[in-house]
């Protein structure tokens, strides 16, 4: 239930209507409150304030009409500017980045400000009465309407600045880079119960798991966005079963495919299948909630588009590499979570799919490497990034993954670059990276070759 609520909350945060709707509702409530104050409180204290509105009904009506008309006009302009920014971002940086723009709180607040001010003035306007015997002018409400109009003017100026900044390539890459850092902090190490490292004895799958387990099919099509870890652990403890999660967040599931295998298989019934499907959240697109690889792919997509012949912008690709390198440096220092999850008694309950540092390195570098064979600047930065990450890795397997990518970058550059000076620079960067990636950097052993691979 928690994961499903988080999914809906994420959808609301990524919409243009939720925050403006809340602000519009607040404007309605404020209009009723201020009109009530105008009806019950005397105007004597307002007259002492020089800037408060003190005119008659005709003037108040004209002021509110002017404000309301201008606010709804500006709201249309803001919507147009927002759509233009979304169109530019989609065509230049990729449609998957639209979610980041739609989640931008500033854009939502700006839209809400103009809509709320328009609605407030409209509601106040309807309370003005012109009859001589029952004339009513809500001086406090009109004064607040003018204040809101002035505030909206400042908001418009800030919005123009914000849009100008937010569509810059460096700013977009930096925003995705921050999301990558936040995802790494949140997911590594990931926890579903306690890790097997905390168990008093070695934990492993039951010997008959593959033979006697039963597959739990998924009820729909879509990308696996979340798995409710707490509910899954509680289900395994309640029914005394061992669950192996076959797919991890980010994978696409076809209706009827296996999402979880349960042992012993005889405890799997229709009710159990329904409960498992309740903790598996599917959607039409990948999200970064439990899928750090998706955020990496956003940076990779920007870099690959920048390297395309139609764009030919290696500088943006280099910025993406810098952010990917920053994320990989953080990942290299983290302990990859164990796939085995145990309960408080140390009994194995859940086996989670494991994502490793080498797999994330593949996700970060593969497509950029494949599209930068003829770009000396990007290929050199790739090797520099690998060398930078090498200073943070601790595990031999991680070093091996970086060495493999350094060798592939060097081979591709030798095949794609025609200028000898570029190839020579590549050899130097490759030698530096391989020296840092030796198993024992302080050793004088020559077992690791630093020459350009054949």
Q: Among 217, 263, 258, which Cα is nearest to 240's?
A: 263
* Range name among 27-36, 200-209, 350-359 with the lowest pLDDT average: 200-209
pLDDT cut 90: percent of the chain above it: 38
**pLDDT tens profile 355-371:** 889 999 999 999 999 99
The burial of 52, by beta-carbon neighbours within 10 Å (0-12 exposed, 13-18 middle, 19 or more buried), is given as middle
User: What single DSSP character describes residue 213?
Assistant: -
CA distance 198 to 438: 32
| pLDDT of 46 higher than 70 | no
**What pLDDT is recorded for position 51?**
63
- List of residues 6+ apart from 329 with CB closer than 8 A: 388, 389, 391, 392
- Residues 144, 149, 151: CA angle, nearest 5 degrees: 95
Q: Where are the alpha helices (DSSP H) in 126-217?
A: 139-166, 169-187, 209-212
Give the whole-angstrom CA distance, residue 267 versus residue 240: 9
Distance CA 355, CA 377 (A): 31
Residue 196 is given by DSSP the state G
Give the pLDDT mean for 153-169. 89
Least confident of 86-90, 190-194, 325-329: 190-194
Using pLDDT thresholds of 50, 70 and 90, give the confidence band for residue 197.
very low
Got the DSSP string for 275-288? HHHHHEEEESS--S
Query: For the segment 91-107, what is each residue's pLDDT rounded down to a tens digit?
Result: 878 777 777 777 888 88
Structure tokens given for 343: 């309960």
Tokens of 130: 């012109």
- In this prediction, residue 387 carries a pLDDT of 93
Residue 243: per-residue pLDDT: 92
pLDDT at position 45: 63
Phi, psi (5° rounding) for residue 249?
-55, 135
Spatial distance between the Cα atoms of 383 and 390, rounded to a whole number of angstroms: 10
Q: Where are the beta strands (DSSP E) in 345-450?
A: 348-351
CA pair distance 287, 297, nearest whole angstrom: 11
Which two tokens mark 86? Answer: 């979304």
Residue 377 has pLDDT above 50, yes or no: yes
Mean pLDDT of 285-300: 90
Supply 360's token pair: 């994330």
pLDDT-derived band at 49 (thresholds 50, 70, 90) equals low
Q: Is the pLDDT reported for residue 1 higher than 80? A: no
Judge if the upstream peptide bond of residue 361 is cis by omega within 30 degrees of 0.
no
- pLDDT, tens only, 387-396: 999 999 988 9
pTM: 0.82
Question: With contact defined as beta carbons under 8 Å apart, do 172 and 209 qualify?
Answer: no
**What angle, rounded to 10 degrees, do the helices at 57-93 and 105-125 form?**
160
Q: 418-439, pLDDT tens digit by residue?
A: 888 888 998 999 999 899 888 5
Mean pLDDT is lowest, of 41-45, 80-84, 194-198, 232-236, for: 194-198
Instruction: Say what the pLDDT of residue 57 is.
Output: 84
- The rounded distance, in Å, linking the Cα atoms of 20 and 272 is 41
Asked whether the beta carbons of 294 and 354 are under 8 A apart, the reply is no
24, 119 Cβ separation under 8 angstroms: yes
Surface-to-core class of residue 392, CB atoms within 10 Å of its CB (0-12 exposed, 13-18 middle, 19+ buried): middle
The token pair that represents 394 in the structure block = 């601790």
Confidence check: pLDDT of 442 > 60: no
- Has residue 445 got a pLDDT over 60? no
Task: In whole angstroms, give the CA distance from residue 3 to residue 187.
Answer: 15
Measured CA distances, 205 to 15, 220, 238, 249, 349 (Å): 43, 28, 19, 22, 9
């Amino acid at each position: 239930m928690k994961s499903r609520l988080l999914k809906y909350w994420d959808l609301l945060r990524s919409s243009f209507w939720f925050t403006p709707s809340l602000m519009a509702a607040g404007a309605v409530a404020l209009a009723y409150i201020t009109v009530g104050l105008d009806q019950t409180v005397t105007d004597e204290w307002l007259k002492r304030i020089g800037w408060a509105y003190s005119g008659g009904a005709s003037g108040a009506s004209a002021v509110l009409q002017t404000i309301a008309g201008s606010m709804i006009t500006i709201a249309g302009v803001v919507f147009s500017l927002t759509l233009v920014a979304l169109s530019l971002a989609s065509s230049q940086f990729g449609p998957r980045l639209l979610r980041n723009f739609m989640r931008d709180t500033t854009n939502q607040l700006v839209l809400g400000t103009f809509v709320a001010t328009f609605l407030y003035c409209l509601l106040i306007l309807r309370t003005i009465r012109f009859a001589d015997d029952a004339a009513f002018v809500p001086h406090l409400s009109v004064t607040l309407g003018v204040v809101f109009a002035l505030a909206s003017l400042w908001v418009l100026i800030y919005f123009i600045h914000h849009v100008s900044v937010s569509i810059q390539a460096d700013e977009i890459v930096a925003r995705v880079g921050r999301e990558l850092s936040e995802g790494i902090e949140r997911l590594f190490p990931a926890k579903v119960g306690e890790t097997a490292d905390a168990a008093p004895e070695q934990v492993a799958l039951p010997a008959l798991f593959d033979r006697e387990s039963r597959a739990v099919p998924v009820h729909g099509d879509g990308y696996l966005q979340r798995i409710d870890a707490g509910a899954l652990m509680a289900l395994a403890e309640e029914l005394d079963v061992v669950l192996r999660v076959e797919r991890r967040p980010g994978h696409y599931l076809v209706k009827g495919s296996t999402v979880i295998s349960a042992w012993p298989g005889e405890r799997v019934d229709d009710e159990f299948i329904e409960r498992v499907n309740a903790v598996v959240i599917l959607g039409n697109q990948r999200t970064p909630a439990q899928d750090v690889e998706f955020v990496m792919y956003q940076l990779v997509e920007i870099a690959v588009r920048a390297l395309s012949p139609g764009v030919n912008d290696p500088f943006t690709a280099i910025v993406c590499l810098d952010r990917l390198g920053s994320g990989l440096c953080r990942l290299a220092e983290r302990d990859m979570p164990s796939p085995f999850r145990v309960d408080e008694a140390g009994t194995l309950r859940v086996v989670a799919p494991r994502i490793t540092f080498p797999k994330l390195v593949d996700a970060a570098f593969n497509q950029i490497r494949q599209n930068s064979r003829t770009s000396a600047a990007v290929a050199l930065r790739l090797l520099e990034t690998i060398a930078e990450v090498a200073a943070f890795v601790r595990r031999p397997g991680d070093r091996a993954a970086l060495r493999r990518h350094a060798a592939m970058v060097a081979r591709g550059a030798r095949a794609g670059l025609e200028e000898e000076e570029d190839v020579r620079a590549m050899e130097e960067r490759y030698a530096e990276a391989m020296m840092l990636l030796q198993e024992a950097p302080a050793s004088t052993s020559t077992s690791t070759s630093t020459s350009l691979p054949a």
